[in-house]
Structure 1
Amino acid sequence: MIVTTRSTEDSPEVDRFAWWHDMTMTTLIPTAIHTDHADDFRACLTMLDFGLAQISSMSYPSISRVRRTPELIRRSDPEYLQLSLTVTGRMRIAQSRNETELEDGELVLYDSSHPFDGSALPRHGDGVRQIVVQLPRRLLPVPPDRLTPLLSTRLPTDRGFGEVLRRFLIQVTERPHEYGPADGPRLTTVLVDLIEAAIGQRVDERPMPPADRHPQALYLSVQNFILRNLSDPALAPETIASAHHLSARSLHRLFQRHGATVAGLVRHERLERARRDLADPLLADVTVSAIAHRLGFRRPADFGRAFRAAYGVPPRDYRKAALGDTGQQRTRAPGLSRACPSGR
């Protein structure tokens, strides 16, 4: 698990909201946000990166409106399922014909592939604190016809698995020092199981029996291994299978059950990581070739062809469009900070 904290504290007051907007566009998912505190936006984000999933704890004055539009979805869609816990404040979200308002301690699901509209406001002038989970939708073994009706609806947190999930999110974000780099896959498995169980209770379904969970845990373990070794040019089905005491044939069957291929996942994750790095203002001084090399591409030309095939533009053009004219300035904007203030 990797912990990163970013804050507006070192940025000039007039630039804080613009920096926060740009940072969340790359760290979370692209959205259009507005605030009544643009003249001095004091905010902080701590991200816990498990490899396949991320949990971000944020504090900020207010967001008067946040939108994910069809245009933003067409521009970039990581196909994430997101889960938001309102720690302090009042939140509203509307998606897929559902709209809900949330108070302290309440959870809601939403999907990066569908437009949404919302807001986050303080209750007593003390600001907003929110915890957001991001994980690839493919990790959650819940059929779309069961999941879609739950988007933008409240998940109970006063009982059952919803309460356990709420306590887990608060504990892991308040005490991340209790976990090490090797705990990312375990935390991902716990997180996915808790979300699935909370959804199962919400629709009055029984969770899958333990015998059915082992393949899912193995699949998560393999994906985390791939993410940890993206920089290895020799990353291949044979080495992945060997690391998990599987035959190459068994590994391919495991991926086929999830409608994926090993090579396809490696390529997708490398390109997605490269896309995020190219759009990160803090990496504007890192060359395209260097980004490609550290993600396991032996030759820049191979990376360029693969990137263009996936996203429709060459890597340099994508970076230019993502960073605009402020890319070099943003590298000097506030980046890493020691810690966000704890919740009240």
Structure 2
Amino acid sequence: MLPSTTADTARLEPRERFDYWHQMMSSVISPLDFTSDAAPDYQGRIRLTPLDGVDTFPVMMQAFQCHRTPRLIRRADAELYHIALVGPGSSPMAVTQSTGQYLVTPGTLYLTDTSRPFSVLATQPERYAIGHCVEIPKRRLDLPRDAPVDQLLARPLAATHGFGALIAQFLTHLQQQHHAYQETDAPQLAATLGDLITGLITHTLDTTPPPDSETAERTLLIAVRAFIERHLDDPDLKPAAIAAHHHISTRQLQRLFQRQGTTPAAHIRQRRLERAHRDLSSLAHARTPIHTIARRRGFTSHTVFTRTYTRHYGRTPTHTRDLALNRRRPTP
């Protein structure tokens, strides 16, 4: 049987889980800034199967944001490519690297380079991130030195045909049949996987058309939403600052959200309310004053927060907390 290691946060005390998971992801992929609204009781599971220096792992974890920053790259860089197959039922992933920001949906692959800054965001907090990942040293791929791999970074890559489908089938098979192989089979399995990834990159580079205007707009919206998620708790987050960061006018930003049936301010308010609602419904924050939760989630006025929350959810923040406590109180 191939050697493998399973890590599951359910084996730990709730207060220990997030830090453990952060360290696990940073050691398996590369050092990362890793955050999650579910941090007080984080759920994640991974089974790591190393194949002669190439790591593969199916993973399931709660919604998260991770960033590979220039500071972390300077600290340590193993020069890897990270390839991820987003699995059925997973939250779509907003992936940003180089000049690309894309939404990667279930049944699709994406590629990132650990030697460059990148970010990955699970876009639907209520759903788990599910997938199968590969960490492979760049030197293990038979690519021309001048191959413009940066053109593919963060982009959705098809996993339903061609080399993408073969990679998806290989990873699924390995997940289901890892017990059928011996440790001595690992070098051949790693070589096969490396050949498939090389084929995916070279074939995609040969057949990739330039992005159209609709794709460019969708990409920009993903980048804007990811930026908002990273700075959501900052009370100074305003449309003008968002527009300036992305080198567009405030009017362009408004039009971008108008096509989604909302406005930048309404989107920010909605996401802040959702985070506050999750805090109020969690026992981990049961002793945190409601005005403190409101302030942490970007609301500068407790009165405005209470009024906005009540209008949106049909009950007061206090009522939400009472309901959460009553659900968890044992029946006499």
Smaller-chain TM-score bracket: 0.5 to 0.7
Q: Give the Å deviation of 1:121.
A: 4.2
> 1:194 & 1:14 partners in 2: Cα distance?
41
2:161 alignment partner AA: R
Q: Give the Å deviation of 1:67.
A: 0.2
| Corresponding residue of 1:114 | 116
Tell me if 1:181 matches 2:183. yes
- Give per-residue Cα distances to partners, 1:221-247, cap 9 Å, x unaligned: xxxxxxxxxxxxxxxxxxxxxxxxxxx
> 1:5 & 1:44 partners in 2: Cα distance?
7
**Which protein shows a greater Rg?**
2
User: Secondary structure of the residue that 1:2 maps to in structure 2?
Assistant: coil
Contact 1:82–1:133 (Cα < 8 Å) also in 2: yes
1:44 alignment partner AA: R
Matches within 5 A, 1:217-256: none
| Corresponding residue of 1:159 | 161
Q: Give the Å deviation of 1:10.
A: 1.7
Contact 1:121–1:127 (Cα < 8 Å) also in 2: no
| Corresponding residue of 1:297 | none
User: Secondary structure of the residue that 2:194 maps to in structure 1?
Assistant: helix
Contact 1:54–1:134 (Cα < 8 Å) also in 2: yes
Contact 2:104–2:155 (Cα < 8 Å) also in 1: no
User: Secondary structure of the residue that 2:11 maps to in structure 1?
Assistant: coil
> Sequence identity of aligned pairs in percent?
28
> 2:128 & 2:138 partners in 1: Cα distance?
30
> 1:133 & 1:39 partners in 2: Cα distance?
28
Matches within 5 A, 1:5-24: 5-24=6-25
| Runs of 5+ consecutive residues of structure 1 not aligned to the other structure | 206-344
- Give per-residue Cα distances to partners, 1:168-226, cap 9 Å, x unaligned: 11111232112110111111111011111112221227xxxxxxxxxxxxxxxxxxxxx
> 1:27 & 1:196 partners in 2: Cα distance?
21
1:17 alignment partner AA: F
Q: Give the Å deviation of 1:56.
A: 1.3
> 1:160 & 1:86 partners in 2: Cα distance?
17
User: Secondary structure of the residue that 2:132 maps to in structure 1?
Assistant: strand
> 1:116 & 1:169 partners in 2: Cα distance?
23
Q: Give the Å deviation of 1:71.
A: 0.5
> 2:73 & 2:48 partners in 1: Cα distance?
23
> 1:2 & 1:149 partners in 2: Cα distance?
35
Contact 1:41–1:61 (Cα < 8 Å) also in 2: yes
Matches within 5 A, 1:184-199: 184-199=186-201
| Runs of 5+ consecutive residues of structure 2 not aligned to the other structure | 208-332
- Tell me how large the CA RMSD over aligned residues is: 1.5
> 1:139 & 1:67 partners in 2: Cα distance?
25
| Corresponding residue of 1:68 | 68
Q: Give the Å deviation of 1:106.
A: 0.5
Alignment size in residue pairs: 203
The partner residue of 2:205 within 203, 206, 223 is 203
Q: Give the Å deviation of 1:139.
A: 1.0
Contact 1:48–1:173 (Cα < 8 Å) also in 2: no
User: Secondary structure of the residue that 2:148 maps to in structure 1?
Assistant: helix
Q: Give the Å deviation of 1:96.
A: 1.0
> 1:162 & 1:25 partners in 2: Cα distance?
26
> 2:27 & 2:62 partners in 1: Cα distance?
20
Contact 2:142–2:195 (Cα < 8 Å) also in 1: no
> 1:128 & 1:121 partners in 2: Cα distance?
9
Tell me if 1:137 matches 2:134. no
1:7 alignment partner AA: D
Matches within 5 A, 1:1-344: 1-63=2-64, 65-87=65-87, 88-122=90-124, 125-143=126-144, 144-204=146-206
Contact 1:44–1:58 (Cα < 8 Å) also in 2: yes
User: Secondary structure of the residue that 2:186 maps to in structure 1?
Assistant: helix
Contact 1:121–1:128 (Cα < 8 Å) also in 2: no
Q: Give the Å deviation of 1:126.
A: 4.4
User: Secondary structure of the residue that 1:14 maps to in structure 2?
Assistant: helix
User: Secondary structure of the residue that 1:18 maps to in structure 2?
Assistant: helix
> 1:182 & 1:113 partners in 2: Cα distance?
31
TM superposition score normalised by structure 1:
0.57
TM superposition score normalised by structure 2:
0.59
Q: Give the Å deviation of 1:18.
A: 1.0
> 2:160 & 2:26 partners in 1: Cα distance?
32
Contact 2:32–2:72 (Cα < 8 Å) also in 1: yes
Between the two structures, name the one with larger relative contact order (CA 8 Å, sep ≥ 6): 1
Contact 2:29–2:82 (Cα < 8 Å) also in 1: no
User: Secondary structure of the residue that 1:9 maps to in structure 2?
Assistant: helix
User: Secondary structure of the residue that 2:22 maps to in structure 1?
Assistant: helix
User: Secondary structure of the residue that 2:52 maps to in structure 1?
Assistant: coil
Contact 1:45–1:59 (Cα < 8 Å) also in 2: yes
User: Secondary structure of the residue that 2:85 maps to in structure 1?
Assistant: strand
> 2:162 & 2:134 partners in 1: Cα distance?
19
